[in-house]
Each structure stands twice: as structure tokens, then as C-alpha cells.
Amino acid sequence: MVTLCFISLYAFIEVSVFKQDTKQLLLNVRLDAVIVWQDPELKWNTTVYPYDQVVLPVNKIWTPEFYVTNALVTNMKHASRDLLVFSNGTLKHQVSVTAQVSCEVNLFNYPFAADDCPVAIESWASDDCGTQLELGHMTPIDGSHGDWQTDAVQLLKQGEGRNYIWVSLSIKPSNPFITLLLPSVLILLADVGSFALPLTGGERNSFKVTLVLSFTMFLNILSEQLPGDGQCSPIIRIHFCICLVLLVLSMLVSMILTRVAHDGGLLMCCCFGGSASKTTKNKKVDDENKPDISVVQLNDSEENQTLRKVRHFLDGLDEKEVENERRQKIAHVLDRIFFWIYFICTTGYFIGMLYVMARYTCIVNHFDFWL
């Protein structure tokens, strides 16, 4: 009887990424492997037993195992109840390994994110005794699920005989762009277009308040779709914050300019409030002292005085109309200036944000689980 202390295990693996949890940064993979190893105890002489290979039940034969080092959960199952044994002691079997890997994917550029994720594979060995794992060729299969797609799979090594499968992933940006980025762009575009509404009358202010509320509800509804935090926090969170600040700022400026067009502004209305009350009191006194022209016969001097008061009243109306026109003109000039500033800043911000999302690279340490 031969006692083996070290067994060489060869594995030919098909890799399938069937789920990528962006919220919790988890990668779910399935490895379908064909494993080959040597067991001298199962050799036989073909002259005595004239068969080169036989099929034996897997539960009667010792089979090696391998596991994913950086996986939270690993489950290895036999793909068949039988295995193939050759006359020279070589055994061949198929297994399926499912693993949930904690993968720190770079999500800074979300929804244009692309990164690599290592899947470390090891077999049991202790004090130069155990199973030596050697990986053969890799084949990616069915690499597109949900918003993520598998671009490439490579077999690499990193010292001390450690093997890992280097899985390259990327997000298909169509769905996140339509559900996240496009609505924010359209809401800010509608806010820019709201400057075409008249400043007075309240239509513009009502429309801007509706936009702010709509954007807030939009963030609350889609908060569950935003990716989780990691070493590289998604910049799309900052993008939504800046969009909300721009909308609120535009709404407040529009309200202030509406007040300016109405009575000259918040400070001027407080100053004019006292003078307006005095004017009202003086008007009441004049109305009390004014004689009733229906019962009093006017002489020439009283008639001239009445005409003079009518003229002063009409002049006051003209001055008030001129003042209102001046205030509206100032408000419209300020509104036009703010529109161009807001338009230039919004356009520049979107260009800069899209450039950062598409081009900036955040460095992530994918091998911290071996430190």
C-alpha cells in the first residue's frame, strides 16, 4: 500500500460570471472544472484486467478539493456521480464551484466603470504535504448578465504558487445612463428653458419649485440603484448633489428677481413700507378735508385748487408707472445676466463631469485580502 503525501492536481476551468452586486460590491462566479490527478493505488495491470479505463462511483473514491481564497462563500459540487479511472492511476472528474467574492471594483466612473477582479484559487497543502494545484487553459462562457459584462478572463500567478483568475469587467452604460444620468440632464435643461417664462405672474417660480420637488422625488426613488461606497466612491453621488444645488439656486434667484420686479426688492420694500403708510395717511387726511363738490358751489380759486390736485394725482400715477417700469427693466437685465451665467456654468459643469466620469482612473488595491 502506497501512502501519498503530495498529489498534483490539474484543472481546466470554464469561468462564468452570473451576477455582480454593485450595491454590496460582490461578484458571483461559477467555475466548471475538469480535474485530473494521479492515485497510484488505483493502478492495475491491463494484462490481468484487459480494460484501459473504468467508471467508478465518486462517493467511493477520494477526490481532491480546491477553494476560492477571497470568497465569502464557496460551494463545490460534483458535476457527475461517476468519475473516470485509467489503468495508469490517472483519475478524471468534473466539478462545479460557485463562489461569492468580495471584489473592490472601481466604481468612481459609474456608469462608465470598468475594472478587474481577482478570483484566487488554492488547494489544501500543509508543510509540503497536500495537493499541488496547476491550472490549465481558461474559457469564459456566458459573460453578459444585467448591467455588467465579462470582457476577458486570464490565468495569472503572484508568488508562493498562488494562482488567481483575473476577470475583467465593465458596465454596459446604456441602462444606467438612461435611468440615472439622462433624467438629471433633462431636468436641468428644463430649468434652463424656464427662463423663457415671464418673470412676473408667478408661472416661472411655480415651474421651478415643481422641478426641485420632482428631482428630489427622483433621487428618493432611485437611491436603491446607486452603487455602494468603497475605496473609490462613485462620483455620480456628487453629480446629483450639484444638480440639486443648481436647481435650488436657480429657484431662489428667480424668486428674488420677481420681488425686485414687483416692489424693488426685499430691502427696498421695507424702506418703502413706512413712506407708503405715510402717503396713505396723508391721502386720508386730504380726503377728509376735501369739500363735497356735489353740494358746494365752487368759486374760481377753489376750482383751480381742485384742478391742481387732479393734476398732482395724475402726475403721481405717471411717476408710479415709470418707477414700476424701471424696476421691471432692472429685474429683466439681472435675469438676463443670471441666465447666461447659469447656462455657461451648467454647460461647463456637464462637459467637465462627463469627461471625469469617462477618463479619470481611481486606483484600487485588489490584493488586500493577501496582506
User: pLDDT (tens digit, 0 to 9) for every residue of the chain, 371 residues total?
Assistant: 344 455 666 677 777 776 666 777 778 888 888 888 888 888 888 888 888 999 989 888 888 888 888 888 888 888 888 899 999 889 898 888 888 888 777 788 887 888 888 888 877 766 666 677 777 777 777 666 667 777 878 877 655 556 788 888 888 877 778 888 888 889 999 999 998 888 877 888 999 999 999 998 888 877 776 776 667 778 888 888 999 999 999 999 999 888 888 776 554 544 444 444 444 445 444 544 444 444 444 455 666 667 666 666 666 666 677 777 787 788 888 889 999 999 999 999 989 988 888 788 787 777 766 54
Secondary structure of the chain in HEC code, one letter for each residue: CCCCCEEEEEEEEEEEEEEEECCCCEEEEEEEEEEEEECHHHCCCCCCCCCCEEEEEHHHCCCCCEEECCEEEEEEEECCCEEEEECCCEEEEEEEEEEEEECCCCCCCCCCCEEEEEEEEEECEECCEEEEEEEEEEEECCCEECCEEEEEEEEEECCCCCEEEEEEEEECCHHHHHHHHHHHHHHHHHHHHHHHCCCCCCHHHHHHHHHHHHHHHHHHHHHHHCCCCCCCCCHHHHHHHHHHHHHHHHHHHHHHHHHHHHHCCHHHHHHHHHHHHHHHHHHHHHHHHCCCCCCCCCCHHHHHHHHHHHHHHHHHHHHHHHHHHHHHHHHHHHHHHHHHHHHHHHHHHHHHHHHHHHHCCCCCCCCHHHC
Query: So what's the architecture of 7-172 in CATH?
Result: Distorted Sandwich (2.70)
Percent of the chain whose predicted confidence (pLDDT) is above 90 = 13
188 in Cβ contact with 242 (< 8 Å): no
| Cell 480546491 -> residue | 66
Contact 247, 208 (CB under 8 A): yes
What integer pLDDT is reported at residue 228 of this predicted model?
Answer: 65
Domain boundaries, the chain: 7-172, 173-290+306-371
- pLDDT of 180 reads 81
Q: pTM score, two decimals?
A: 0.68
Residue 189, pLDDT score:
92
Residue 42 CB coordination number (10 Å): 17
What digits encode the pLDDT tens for the residues 189-237? 999 999 888 887 788 899 999 999 999 888 887 777 677 666 777 888 8
202: left (phi over 0), alpha (psi -120 to 50) or beta: left
Q: Is the separation of the CB atoms in 118 and 162 below 8 Å? A: no
